[in-house]
Amino acid sequence: MTTAAARRPVSGRFRLDDKVVVVTGASSGLGVAFAHACAEAGADIVATGRRRDRLEQTIELVGTAGRGGLVVAADVASADGCRSVVDAALNRFGRIDVLVNNAGVEDHDPASRLAVEAFRRVLDVNVTACFELAQSAAAVMPRGSSIINVGSILAYTTLDIPTTAYSTSKAAILGLTRSLARQWSGRKGIRVNALLPGFFPTDMVAELPQGLVDDRLPMGRMGDPDELAAALVFLASDASSYMTGSELTVDGGMRLT
């Protein structure tokens, strides 16, 4: 049992000082907010995605928080891309403490017209790449590390719009998270949790009809990216040290509808 003298203040458990955080899909939207928030909590950031120019903007933002950053332009939907991210992080920082599996794509074609190739592509990016990068990172992460798989409230509900492949992929993320948590939490000392966002102002959401989201939310508004990023820092930090295999929903109450 921790003695009073050795006890770490609760406020300090939310810090990520000198940790190294890998964020996929860090070129836009929520990935940028995640990278910035983790840097503000004290972490160095490895930002990965396919658009180098946008990634460099993310790392500039990380620099304003006084932390180091690294751009790795890679397609994590390929095994080579996953390995390149892990290798680059180790070469620059010597470690990986947190992996944020955030990269994702979506679909909007009705199921009757959704091409199998398009369905497969969504699952490759949203699920297979998530697993491959987690597998590569877990091989080098120290005990006490954290993997956060970014899912979606659409694993549980719909907006009455076709998101067949996307919803399927986000439901699969929940099963993947539970399985990895069961296998790695004790043996490797790596916690694995899922963060389930509702709707936030991103490029994906901008394509939806105006008012479609707000009308479904008990809180009457979309979330601010910082509201979600704060939950991610919680899962990344020691503040959630007794959580693994969990699903943290941040959706403005949408799951209630």
Catalytic annotation, residues: 166
CA-only gyration radius of the chain, Å: 18
Q: What is the spatial distance between Cα 213 and Cα 26, in angstroms, rounded to a whole number?
A: 24
3-class SS at 64?
A: helix
C-alpha torsion angle, residues 165, 228, 87, 65 (rounded to 10):
150
HSE, side-chain direction, 13 A CA sphere, residue 35: 34
Task: Find, among 204, 205, 96, the residue nearest to 148 by Cα.
Answer: 96
